[in-house]
Amino acid sequence: MGKKATDVLVLELKALSIIADYFVICSGESTTQVKAIAEAVKEGFVKKHSHPIGMEGLAHSRWVLIDYGDVIIHVFEEETREYYQLEKLWLDAPRISVEEKGHHQ
């Protein structure tokens, strides 16, 4: 299983909200995987000398929010994501496609 997030979605909120420019929403199959994904995301940003403004939810790992200012990352346990349906609150937000494999930056 590892740290690989599933069902990755990027919402562009620039024109819709002052909260952030982008929401990144992804899922993990279990709370253990959610925690591993969130920690891997944070570690990846730290390697690029970027530290989060805040991080919440790691203790229970059903929904971990990592705030980088312009980008807010939501890592959900699958059932929790289905329950809250965060992406449905932002139906007007443009979706930015994220390729699972072969993604180049």
Each residue's pLDDT tens digit, 45-94: 999 999 999 999 999 999 999 999 999 999 999 999 999 999 999 999 99
pLDDT at 105 over 70: no
Using alpha carbons, select from 82, 97, 91 the residue that is nearest to residue 24.
Answer: 97
Question: For position 102, what pLDDT does the model report?
Answer: 46
Q: What is the phi/psi pair of residue 95, to 5°? A: -95, 135
- What is the β-pairing status of strands 6-12 and 54-56? unpaired
Amino acid at 75: V
Q: What is the pTM of this model?
A: 0.88
Q: What is residue 22's three-state secondary structure?
A: strand
Residue among 91, 45, 89 nearest 70 (CA) = 45
Domains of the chain from N-terminus onward: 6-96 (3.30.460.10)
pLDDT tens readout for residues 5-34: 999 999 999 999 999 999 999 999 999 999
- Strands 63-67 and 6-12, sheet pairing: unpaired
Three-class SS state of 96: strand
